Structure 1
Amino acid sequence: MHLKRTLFALLLAALCLPALQAKFGLLPIRPLEGWFVVSPHPELSYEALRNNEYQPKLEAYLQDRLGFRSALVRLNYQVAYSVFDVIRAKALIRGYNDVLFQDWPIDSYYGRDYVGDTMIRQWVRKMKVVQDSLTQRGVLFVFAIAPNKAAYYPEYIPEAWRGPRKTSNYWSTVREMQRQGIHLLDFSALFRQKKDTVSYPLFPRGGTHWSGYGTTLAADTLLHYLEQRGHFDIPDYRVNGRDIVDTTRGYDADIATALNLMVKPQPFRMAYPRLEYLDPKPGQKKPNVLIIGDSFVWSFIDFYDFFPRLFDPKSTFWYYHRRVGWPGQAPLLQNVGTGADVSRLDRKAELEHRDVVLVLYAEYNLNQLDHGFTHHTYPFYERLSSTDSARVGVITQEIRADWGLMSRLHQEAIASGENFDTYIREKALNRFEAEQ
């Protein structure tokens, strides 16, 4: 009888503990990490109850906040990873030698997301107009391609994800930019060139971005390139040794962290240079730079402080050409939905009062070209002959005569925050480009 009561008490405690943990936080539990959305508390209404919408939303809300949930999820994921070689996190892949990948960089490496020569050629032609127009206004334009971990470590891609290599957005973009004379800084080629000569990893085992060591290599190359092209002398910094460690810093375990394991995979031995930024000398200049790009930019901003320390304080980062992400905003995914909306800025004025406009996207993000930067900037500087202008005018009238199309474009313009007449003009120019 005593044993039964003890077992019953233990069972009752086991049932009550999650609720008590959720309410009072009895034990410190590490929350889950990575990109996911916690279910909000649903709004109670008669319609939601009648349509059976409230109940499942409430269940999801309570489930996300169940006591010890994150610890149990980590235990489940750890067993799957260590015993069954299965990754529970979405879109993450365990390669050979425990090197971790995301799936879309692998697809990019094999050319599975190729957008086609025609689209890339039209995009680069418009970019050349933007570059030349900014040059006439004393603004240096540079397009930089950050490397793809899958292209850097193809030997670690698991067999199930391999396949024939086709024409990729990267190779087509590089070829077309070189042909048309775009100021191109190809970090992808640089990293592959350095792979067999560097002493420490340029990509971490458990991260998707360039390592801290790789960041310093990229920054040194970028700064010298800007000095050469822009004809100005940026303040100096020096390296005062390196920390050689078996742990990671900054973003060097971003994929491993997103696995939500109890014990992260062992990283490579990493090197983290110790930097000292020197006071500007007479004649040196901190350039005013507008950066448009993806998450690879953050390593220059809040890992090693290259941009805050060496660029003018008025410099700005447009994260994916959507939000103003720096200065004053949180990095990476946490800044989505915060900061000024780029579409509401006077973008032409923002471009033309800079010393440098730097566009930097990872190799695997080229399937989205430059996420609308050239598309929205080209109309500021388009230079068409009288014959071409007349043809664009005819196309514009054809678009305006199609009421169904006009209704759809009106909704798209509202959703994107664009002026309606400007949006129609862009569509006419795109159709004109397709005819060329």
Structure 2
Amino acid sequence: MRRALSHRLPIFAAAGAVSFFFLASLWNYAVERDHPKWRLRSAQPLAGVARPAPTELSLEKILSGETQKSFSSNLAQSLPVFPFAVRARNQLLYSLFGVSGAPGLVVGRGEQLFERFYIDEFCRRGAPPDGTALARWAQRVAENEAAAHARGKGFAYLISPSKASQYPQYFPAGTKCPALARGTIDKLAPYRAALDARGLRFVDSPALLEARKKDYEIDFFPRGGTHWNLLGAALATREATRLIGEEAGLGRFDFDWRRGDVAEGTDRDLLDLLNLLWPDPHYPVAAIVRAPGAERRCERAPRLLALGGSFMREIIVALAAAPCPPQIDYWFSMRLANDDFDLIRYRTEPGETGNGERRPADLSELRASAEAADAILLEENEANIGTLSQVENLWRALHPAAVAK
């Protein structure tokens, strides 16, 4: 009897495991919509995996297959082992074949990670921008600066770089890149010319970092990240604060930096999105500190309105080391999974390096935010310069009379 029981133990164990996962999946599926906190979860949830939409039941959706597909996706993600299964699959692809199992991410030379969006944008370069749209964009930037100065506010316009344009030598082997072959990778030339023609001073971060690469022992983009590191961001921030002027209250920004070898935060944002079992965060990164002798002398914290994209995040961290760290009202366009953009807003307190407090991104409040600011920092990334809403939104906030006509 005991021998028969011992022979059947593996069967009972397997049956128990199957039953547990089946019941756990049904439980997760049942509570997902109304009581998500009751869900059985993995100790390490997947990064960047959007929760599937609730299953809709209708004859039309059943006939089209949408109901079945949605039910299948929801049920799969309800499995407690789903995160582990995804990580195991991605680790296998990464370790054996050197490729990414995460959509939109690619593994380049030296294990450098890229978003496919930035490589595609870089390699399509060549066609000049529409002249009418370019002139309108440049005029709006110049008018934003003039309106800010007329109100006694500091102002700086900053172009941030993309990893693809700074380090194409790290692209995956065999990448077809027509712009590199044609030599048409400098898309910013007409934008620089349009701003120069209007007498606008601005921070050309792509050119700045290209010129400073020889001065530093590490790259300005981390191996496992899509955004510039704090060293690159601090170099651009120093130029931006010079344009804003000390009268805005930030003080004369300068910094010192230290090399690190363990990535955290945005230095590993793509590494986290790979969702590996054993991610390796050991690669060169940078930390910055306030420059020696730069004392904090602030009667009050200056207020900065920052409009831009996700590259502004590292600038905000850098400004925490300013002589007078500002309170920052940060409005930014976030790229979604379908390559559309959504407007997000955060408020960070002086010296804060986290995300801060999320606030409603209602454009009706942008005018009040602009009026309350001591300085305005406007940023666009070179990959989508002139195509998003930052410049126009700020113009409408600073020119209410023109908008009302």
The alignment's TM-score, normalised by the length of structure 1, stands at 0.73
Q: Offset at 1:271?
A: 3.2
Q: 1:60 is matched with which residue: 69, 73, 78? A: 73
Query: Which residue identity does 2:143 align to in structure 1?
Result: V
Inter-CA distance 203–371: structure 2 relative to 1 (3 Å threshold)? same
8 Å contact kept, 2:306–2:329: yes
Matched, 1:310 2:324: yes
Partners of 1:136 and 1:143 in 2: how far apart? 16
Q: Offset at 1:44?
A: 6.3
Partners of 1:237 and 1:141 in 2: how far apart? 15
Matched, 1:343 2:363: yes
8 Å contact kept, 1:212–1:271: yes
Q: Offset at 1:135?
A: 2.2
What do the CA deviations read for 1:165-213 (whole angstroms, capped 9, x no partner)?
4365433222221222223111111111111211233210010111133
Q: Offset at 1:259?
A: 0.6
Partners of 1:50 and 1:163 in 2: how far apart? 43
Matched, 1:154 2:168: yes
Aligned residue number for residue 234 of structure 1: 250
Matched, 1:281 2:297: yes
Q: 1:291 is matched with which residue: 306, 309, 334? A: 306
Query: Which residue identity does 2:162 align to in structure 1?
Result: N
Query: Which residue identity does 2:175 align to in structure 1?
Result: A
Q: Offset at 1:306?
A: 1.9
Q: 1:170 is matched with which residue: 188, 197, 201? A: 188
Q: 1:116 is matched with which residue: 116, 125, 129? A: 129
Aligned residue number for residue 265 of structure 2: 250
Partners of 2:195 and 2:124 in 1: how far apart? 18
Q: Greater helix share, 1 or 2? A: 1
State the SS of the aligned residue for 2:266.
Answer: coil
What pairs up with 1:365-380 in 2 under 5 angstroms?
365-366=384-385, 368=387, 370-374=388-392, 377=395
Aligned residue number for residue 107 of structure 1: 120
The RMSD of aligned alpha carbons is: 3.8
Q: Offset at 1:357?
A: 1.6
8 Å contact kept, 1:146–1:362: yes
Q: Offset at 1:295?
A: 0.9
Query: Which residue identity does 1:291 align to in structure 2?
Result: A
8 Å contact kept, 1:93–1:102: yes
Aligned residue number for residue 5 of structure 1: 8
Aligned residue number for residue 52 of structure 2: 39
8 Å contact kept, 1:74–1:261: yes
What pairs up with 1:20-39 in 2 under 5 angstroms?
29-34=43-48, 36-39=49-52
Aligned residue number for residue 184 of structure 1: 202
Partners of 1:144 and 1:58 in 2: how far apart? 46
What pairs up with 1:264-279 in 2 under 5 angstroms?
264-265=279-280, 267-275=282-290
Aligned residue number for residue 154 of structure 2: 140
What do the CA deviations read for 1:42-78 (whole angstroms, capped 9, x no partner)?
4667987798765543332221120111011100011
Inter-CA distance 145–64: structure 2 relative to 1 (3 Å threshold)? same
Q: Offset at 1:285?
A: 7.0
8 Å contact kept, 2:124–2:177: no
- Where does the alignment leave 5 or more consecutive residues of structure 2 unmatched? 28-37, 334-341
Inter-CA distance 249–153: structure 2 relative to 1 (3 Å threshold)? same
Aligned residue number for residue 403 of structure 1: none
Q: 1:130 is matched with which residue: 144, 147, 155? A: 144
Matched, 1:325 2:346: yes
Q: Offset at 1:149?
A: 0.9
Matched, 1:363 2:382: yes
- Where does the alignment leave 5 or more consecutive residues of structure 1 unmatched? 385-420, 426-436
Matched, 1:200 2:200: no
8 Å contact kept, 2:155–2:376: yes
8 Å contact kept, 1:77–1:88: yes
Query: Which residue identity does 2:361 align to in structure 1?
Result: D
Q: Offset at 1:2?
A: 5.7
Aligned residue number for residue 94 of structure 1: 107
The alignment's TM-score, normalised by the length of structure 2, stands at 0.78
Inter-CA distance 367–72: structure 2 relative to 1 (3 Å threshold)? farther
What do the CA deviations read for 1:215-258 (whole angstroms, capped 9, x no partner)?
3333333333323xx5456346776773x432112210101110
